[in-house]
Structure 1
Amino acid sequence: LDHLGLPLDERGFLATDHTLRSISAAPIFAVGDTGTIVHESLPKAGVYAVRQGPVLWENIKRILDGDPLETYRPQRSFLKLLNTGDGRAIGQWKGFAWSGRSMMWLKEWIDGGFMEKYRVDDQMMDDDQPMQCRGCGCKLGADALDGALFADPEGDDSGIELEDAAKIGDAAHHAGEAPGQYLASTDFFTSPFSDAYLAGRVAALHSASDIIASGAQPTSALGNVVLPEGDQATQQKSLSDFIAGARREFSAMGASIVGGHTIVGPRMEIGFTVIGRADGPMMCKENLQDSDALFVTKGLGIGVLLAAHMRAACSATDFGGLLHAMLLPQHGWVNVFRQLGVTAVTDVTGFGLAGHLIEMLRASDVAGTLDIDKIPLLAGADRYLSSGIESSLVADNRRFERWIKMDPSLRTRPQFNALFDPQTCGGLLFGIPSEQSDDLHAAVDAAGLQAPLRIGSVHSSRGVTTRDDRCLIIRG
C-alpha cells in the first residue's frame, strides 16, 4: 500500500470517508481490513466487510453514473465467537460473555449458513461424473454430425460420399452481382460465463471466426440469444450487457449488429449469424500443399481450462490467461494472409486441433507431421489435463485418432491430449510455404499481431481417401 501514493492511517491502512472512497478523492474504494474510515474506531472484523459489500457495489455504479455516493453506516455492536480448539467457543455480545459447546454449535451454524451461499454444486465438483461443458464443449460430435449431414434418407448408397465431408465449408458463399464475395456463418453455444458482457465479447469473436478463416472481413451480425427465466429487469440488464460486449468486438472488426432474435429458456445460450465480405480469393481447408509449414495463432487448452473453471478448480492466474487467449482478436490476420498469398486456413474450434487439421489434410489430399514438443499450451492446461479434467466433447473428438500414426508412449503427454481439446475462440491454423517463414514473421510484426507458432509440416501423399489411411503423423 505504501507504493500507491494514497493517504493511509497511522497503521498503514487506506484512509477512506464514509462512502468507502479514498480521502484522496480518487475513484478508489477500500472495504474490509484494507481500509479505515477516518474518525471511526472500528475493529478489523469480517462482519463489517460483509455489510460494506452492498454499499461498495452501489457506489461503483453511482460513480460511473455521476450520482452522489451512498454513505455506509456501521453497526455499533456485533456478536463475537472465538473457537478455542477443544470443541468449545467463547461468545461475547454487548458486554455479555458465554462459553461452552453451545457457543461452538452457534458459531458453526452461523459460519456454515454464510458459506452455504457460495458453495459450488457437488455435481460440478465431482470429476467422476459426466458434465456437459459449455462454449464449444457443447458442440455435437463429428461422427454424429457427419452421419446426419451425409446419410441418404432412402437408406441406399446414393448419398454424398464421406470424403466430401472434409470439403464442406464452415462459411457459406453467396454469389451476388456486387463486387467482392459475401459469406455467411452462424455459431451458437451455451454461455461459459455468468458475466453477460464477457459472454457477448466471446460470442462475437467466436461467431466471426469462420468468416475470418475464409479470408473475409465481418460486416454485419444478427444475434441469437436464449435468456434464462427471471424478472424483466434482470433479463433486460443481461441482454444489454451482452449486446454491449458483442458490439465492442464487432466494432473493432468494422462490423455492426443489425438484428437478431431472443427467447427465454433454462440457461443462457448465445451466438451470432455473421456476414462477411472477401475482396479476394476465398481461403479454405483444401489448399494445403506439399512442403507447407503449419502454424497456429493461439495456444491450446481453452476447453480444459473452461472445464476446470466449471469445477471451481481453475486458479485465478490460469483463468486470467484463459480470458486473454479467448479475447485475442483474429481479424487482423486476413490482411497478413492476403499479403503473403496464404490460402489454406481454418479456425481451431470445437473439434480440436487434431480434428480440424485432419479435415484440412484429407480435403487437400496430403499428409502432415506434428512435432508434439512444439504444441503450445496455455498456462495451467498441462496440469489440468494431467489431473484427468477434460471437456465433455473430448471423447467424441478422440475418434480422430483413427487418422493418426504415432508411438503409443506419446499418449500420456499433455500436448497429445490437448490436440482433442475443443477451443472456444480458438486460434487460426494455416499452411504457408516454408521458404516464406521469414516474410510471415515480418508481416506479423508490422501488423502488431501475436507471433504464430510453427507446429509441423505438410508432405505429399498418394491419396488420403479411406478410413484406413493415417494422414497425420505425430513425432516426439
Structure 2
Amino acid sequence: MNSSTHPISKDLVLVGGGHSHAIALRTLAMHPLPGVRITLISDPSDTPYSGMLPGHVAGFYAHEECHINLRSLCQAAQVTLICDRAIGLDLATNRVQCINHPAIAFDIVSIDIGSTPILPPAFPLSKHHVGAKPIPAFLEWWYHLCENVPSSLNLGIVGGGTGGVELALNMNHRLEEVLRHQERYQERSEQHFTIHLFHRGQQLLPNHNRWVQRHFQHLLRDRNIQLYLGETVEGIAEGAIFCASGLTVPCDETVWVTGAAAPRWIAQSGLTVDADGFILVNDALQSVSHSQVFAAGDIATMSHYSRPKAGVFAVRQGKPLVENLQNALRGRSLKPYRPQKNYLSLIGTGDDSAVASYGILGLHGRWLWTLKDQIDRAFMNRFTTLAETMTPDDAIHPSSPASPISMRCLGCGAKIGSSILERVLQRIRDELPNAKREDILLGLDDPDDAAVVQIPSGNVMVQTIDYFPALVSDPFLFGQISTNHSLSDVFAMGATPQSALAIATLPYATEPKQEETLYQLLSGAVKTLHQAQAVLIGGHTIEGETLAFGLACNGVARPDRLLRKNGLHPGQVLILTKPIGTGTLFAAEMRHKAKARWIDGAIASMISSNQHAATCFLHHGATACTDITGFGLLGHLVEMVKASRVAIALQLEAVPMLEGAQDCIQQGIFSSLYPQNLRASQWVANDSALRSHPLFPLLFDPQTSGGLLASVPSAQVDACLAALKAAGYCHSTAIGSVYPKQDGVEAVTIS
C-alpha cells in the first residue's frame, strides 16, 4: 500500500492467529484496504492448523507442513505483526493491552484466540501435566517426551471427546514408532508405555453418532489403550490420577483435553459473554454489546446458533468475518452469516486411515485418510503459495478508494506536527521514572533548540549515528532493534552510553495514527536506552513513504580505556558474541522463504544488547573490539586487520550461525549488500579453495544489531567465554587467532 496516496486513517487490530484470522489475512493480502493499517497480535509467529495437528503428533507431518507462517502471511498482506500476548481490552479508549508492548490502539478489533481446556482449580499445569491448548506449549511438552521416553511410561489423557480420542490414537502410534526405532540400536528393549483415557460420560465422542462412538471404543481397546468411562478425575498426586469413584490409576504424564474455557480478561473487559465466558456475537460475528468488536472461532459464541467448538466452524467463519470487517471499516451494512448444522468430520486413527462422521453416517477406511490428507494439504497450500498467487492488480487497484492526498510537502513542511510530538513525549515521560540527570543540562523537558550535555572530567565523548528503514513491521520492536544497533558502536569502543538523539520517518497518516506509530517507536527506543542507562534528549521527525528510524548516540569513556580496531596483537584470540546470518534470513523473509522460527531467532539475537559483553571484554584484557554490522563478519575483521597490521587464522566451522542462515544461503538468497561485501575476500589467502564451502558466503552477510568481535589474551579466553555465557551470550565462541603479518601474504587464512 502506498501510504502517500492513501494515508493511514483507520486501525484494524486482529487479536490472535486462529483459523478465521488466517483466512482473513489471506483475503486482505489479495484485496488490500486503502487507508487502513492492519495489525495482528499473536504470541507465536506461526499458527497450527488443527486439522493436521493429530497427524503431526503421530509423526506424519513436519512442523512447517501443519503450521501457517504468520510472518510470511502478514508480509504478503502488508500487516504489522506484533508477537505478544493480549491480556486485556480497554473499550473506553479502544486499546488492546499486551504483556510486553505498550497498548495497541484500534478503531475495529477482531478476536480469534481460541480456547483452553477447563481445568479444576486444584490442577495447575506443570511440566508433567499439560493442556492440549495452547498448542505451542503442548507441542513443546510432546517433543520433549518423544525425545526422552522413560523406561516405563503411563500417559493419562483426560477427556473423551473428538480431541482426546484422536490424540490418544495418534500418540499411541508415535510412541510405538519411537520405541521401535530405539530397538534397532538395542539387543532387547525393556521400555513400554500405557495410555489411559478418562471420560466422565458413558459414551465417547458425544457430538457424533452411535456407530462412530462404538467404532472408536473398539479401536481404542484394539490398540491396548485403557479406557475409563463414567470416571471424573478429581486429583493428581505422586504420579497417579484419582477419580471420584475411588479409582486410582498410575500416570506419569497427563494431557487435559476437556471442555473449552475462555481467558478471564475477555469478561473483565466489559464485553457481553455467555455462561462460559466466551464473547457473545450476533449473526455478523459482531459483539452484541460493542459494535467495534468482532470475534470468531472458539472464543466466540453466536447468540442465535448453538454449535460445538470445532475448527470447521472457525474455517467457515473466515470469509464472512473479513467481509464484515471490510464493511464496518467502510461504513457499510453488515451481512448475516448462518453456520451449517451438519458437517463432515474426518478423524485420523493414527494408522494412515480415518473415520468419516456425518450426521447418522459413519465410515472407516484408508481412502478416507487420503481424502483428509488432500483436503488438509490443499487448505495449507492456500497460504504457502500466497506470494505466487497475488497479482499486481490486487495491490495497484484496490476495491474501494480512500480520500487521497495528492501531494505531500517536502523540506520543513514534511516535519511531524509539534502537537503530535508534545503528546507522544508526554506519554513517554509519564511511563519513565522521574530521575533528573545532572549530566543532561538541557534535554526533552526543555524548549530550547538543542540539547546540552556535560562531559565528566577526564573523559572523552564517543559519538556515532545509524539510521535505516524498518526490517520488521512492529514499530515497538523496530525501535528496540535499531537502538541496540546504534548503541553497539558505543559499546564496541569500550564507552558507556550517556544520551541519544532520534531521527524518524513516519508513514503518511492522519494525526492520531502518526501519534500512535511514533509512540510505539519511541517506546521501544526509550525502553532500550533506559536499560543501557542512557536518555533520549531530542531528535527530528518527518513524513515519508515507509517507517525508518535511527539514533545519534553519545557515550563517555576514559581515553586510556578505549577499545579500537587497531588494537589486535599477535598471540591473542578472537571471540564473537552473537551468531551471524540476519542479512540472508531477512532477504529470505522478503521472498517468503524463511521459516517463522528462523526469524524469531534472528529477532531475539538483534534485541540482545552488547553492553554486558563489552564489560566482559574490558574485564578480561581485550585490546581491540568492533561490532559486526553492515559489512559482515569478514568486512569488519579486515578493518581490524588493516588497522593493526596483523594476520588472522579464522576457523570457519567455529563461527556461530543463526538457525536457517545456511539453508537460505544454499538456496542462493543473499542480501543486496552481499556483492559489495564479497570484495573483502581479496584479503583471504585461500579464497579460491573456499568458494565452494557452504558456510563461506555467510562471512560476508551484512548484520543488523550483530554481536561484538574482540581480541583477548589467550590466557583469558576460557574465563572470558565463561563470563560471557553467564551474562546470557550463549553463542559466544572463540573463532580465530592473531599472528604477525608476513609481507606479501594476504592477512586472513580460513580453515
Q: TM-score, normalised by structure 1?
A: 0.69
> Which one of 533, 537, 544 corresponds to residue 258 of structure 1?
537
Q: CA deviation at 1:474?
A: 1.0
Match of residue 276, structure 1, among 538, 546, 555: 555
1:308-343 deviation digits (Å, cap 9, x = unpaired) = 111122111111111111111111123212211212
Deviations 1:360-407 (A, max 9, x none): 011001010111211221000000000000100000001101111116
Residue 459 (structure 2) aligned to one of 158, 167, 180: 180
Tell me by how many angstroms 1:264 deviates.
1.0
Give per-residue Cα distances to partners, 1:202-249, cap 9 Å, x unaligned: 110001010010001211111011112222222211111000111111
1:44 aligns with 2:324: no
Give the 5 Å matches for 1:34-73.
34-35=298-299, 37=301, 40-42=305-307, 44-49=313-318
TM-aligned CA deviation for residue 452 of structure 1:
1.3
CA deviations 1:240-280 (Å, max 9, x no partner) are 10001111111111111111001111222210000111245
1:289 match: secondary structure: coil
Q: CA deviation at 1:437?
A: 1.2
- State whether residues 410 and 416 of structure 1, in contact with CA within 8 Å, keep that contact through their aligned partners in structure 2: yes
Count of residue pairs brought into register by the alignment: 372
Matches within 5 A, 1:43-192: 44-49=313-318, 75-77=336-338, 178-192=457-471
- Residue 442 of structure 1 and its aligned partner are, at CA, apart by 3.6
Distance in 1 (alpha carbons) for counterparts of 2:649 and 2:501 = 39
Deviation (angstroms), 1:438: 2.0
Cα 1:369–1:24 shift into 2, 3 Å? farther
Equivalent residues of 2:681, 2:687 under 8 A apart: no
Q: Is the 8 A contact 2:490 2:555 kept in 1?
A: yes
Note closer, same or farther for the CA distance 1:371–1:343 as it changes in structure 2 (3 Å cut).
Answer: same
Q: Which runs of 5+ in 1 are unaligned?
A: 57-72, 83-111, 124-173
Q: Give 3-state SS (helix, strand or coil) of 1:208's partner.
A: helix
Identify the structure with bigger relative contact order (alpha carbons < 8 Å, sequence gap 6+).
1
Letter in 2 for 1:37: T
Query: How many angstroms apart in 2 are the aligned matches of 1:179 and 1:414?
Result: 49
Q: What RMSD in Å do the two structures reach over aligned CA positions? A: 3.8
Which amino acid is the alignment partner of residue 283 of structure 1? Answer: L
Map 1:75-474 to 2 at 5 A.
Answer: 75-77=336-338, 178-279=457-558, 281-406=561-686, 408-462=688-742, 469-474=745-750
Q: 1:54 offset after TM fit, Å?
A: 11
SS at 1:215 equivalent:
coil
- Note if contact 2:632-2:700 (Cα within 8 Å) is conserved in structure 1: yes
**Which string of whole-angstrom CA distances, capped at 9 and with x for unpartnered residues, describes residues 18-68 of structure 1?**
9597977699x9965444638742471534245668999xxxxxxxxxxxx
Preserved contact between residue 31 and residue 49 of structure 1 (Cα < 8 Å): no
**One-letter amino acid of the counterpart of residue 313, structure 2:** K
The alpha carbon displacement at 1:445 in A equals 4.7
CA contact (8 A) 2:626 2:636 kept: yes
Secondary structure at 2:561's aligned position in 1?
coil
Where 1:390 maps in the other structure, the secondary structure is coil
Tell me how far 1:178 sits from its aligned partner.
2.0
Question: What SS class does the counterpart of residue 703 from structure 2 fall into?
Answer: coil
Question: Residues 362 and 120 of structure 1: is their aligned pair in 2 closer, same or farther, counting only changes over 3 Å?
Answer: farther
| Amino-acid identity (%) | 31
Shift of 1:447: 3.8
Distance 2:508 2:645 in 1: 49
Name the aligned partner's letter for residue 498 of structure 2: T
For 1:122 and 1:389, the matched residues in 2 are separated by: 23
Q: What is the SS of the residue equivalent to 2:639?
A: helix
CA 1:472–1:51 in 2, change beyond 3 Å: closer, same or farther? same
- Any idea what SS the aligned residue of 1:44 has? helix
Q: Return the alpha-carbon distance in structure 2 between the equivalents of residues 394 and 203 of structure 1.
A: 20
Q: 1:349 to 1:22 in 2, by over 3 A?
A: farther
AA partner of residue 322 (structure 1): A
The residue that corresponds to 1:14 in the other structure is 260
For the structure 1 residues 177 and 203, does the alpha-carbon distance in structure 2 shift closer, same or farther, using more than 3 Å as the test? closer
Q: Return closer, same or farther for 1:30/1:215 CA change in 2, 3 Å cut-off.
A: farther
**CA shift for structure 1 position 425:** 0.5
CA distance, structure 1, for counterparts of residue 575 and residue 622 of structure 2: 12
Aligned CA distance change for structure 1 residues 302 and 121 (closer, same or farther; 3 Å): farther
Partners of 1:459 and 1:54 lie apart in 2 by 67
Counterpart AA for 1:212: F
The AA in structure 2 aligned to 1:14 is A
Q: Post-superposition shift, 1:453? A: 0.7
- The one-letter code sitting in structure 2 at the alignment partner of 1:386 is Q
Query: What runs of 5+ residues in structure 2 fail to find an aligned partner?
Result: 1-115, 118-129, 135-158, 162-205, 208-257, 280-292, 326-333, 344-381, 394-452
Q: Distance in 2 between matches of 1:398 and 1:405?
A: 14
TM-score w.r.t. the length of structure 2 is: 0.45
